[in-house]
């Protein structure tokens, strides 16, 4: 049974911080890559950060130095600092199989084939 649930979204002012969390009730998260993605209105879904089974992290250039991804088996977190208006989006967590080409950083369209999405949580920065 797969159940990914994001929480922690909300409205903040530019420069403030916000932590997001993702809970996986399946008990199998340790066998997967995990990642955060986001989608703004009228935009395509984009990768934000990912973390593999061994703790190796990858970040989009737009969030590097501001966001931190972490995981503890069935829990995944995204600590967002120094938020900017352009960070406004629906944020989705995902777990997915490691890919020989993309490793744990596939594009969102491939994530759909490799694993599972959460329902999303809204982050608004003004």
Kindly give, in sequence order, each residue whose CB lies less than 8 Å from that of residue 17, ignoring residues fewer than 6 positions away.
79, 80, 81, 82, 83
Helix/strand/coil for 47: strand
Query: Residue 1 has what pLDDT?
Result: 56
CA dihedral of 19, 84, 39, 89, whole degrees rounded to 10: 60
- The whole-angstrom separation of Cα 23 and Cα 69 is 14
How many Å apart are CA 17 and CA 78, to the nearest integer?
11
Q: What is the pLDDT along the chain (126 residues), one digit of tens a residue?
A: 568 999 999 999 999 999 999 999 888 888 899 999 999 999 999 999 999 999 999 999 999 999 999 999 789 999 999 999 999 999 999 999 999 999 999 999 999 999 999 999 999 999
């Amino acid at each position: 049974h797969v159940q990914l649930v994001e929480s922690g979204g909300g409205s903040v002012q530019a420069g403030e911080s916000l932590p997001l969390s993702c809970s996986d009730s399946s008990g199998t998260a340790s066998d997967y890559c995990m990642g955060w993605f986001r989608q703004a209105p009228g935009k395509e879904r984009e990768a934000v950060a990912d973390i593999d089974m061994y703790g190796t992290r990858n970040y989009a250039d737009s969030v590097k130095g501001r966001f931190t991804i972490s995981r503890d088996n069935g829990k995944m977190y995204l600590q967002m600092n120094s938020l900017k208006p352009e960070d406004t989006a629906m944020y989705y967590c995902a777990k997915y199989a490691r890919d020989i080409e993309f490793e744990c950083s596939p594009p969102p369209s491939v994530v759909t084939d490799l694993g599972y999405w959460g329902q999303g949580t809204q982050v608004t920065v003004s």
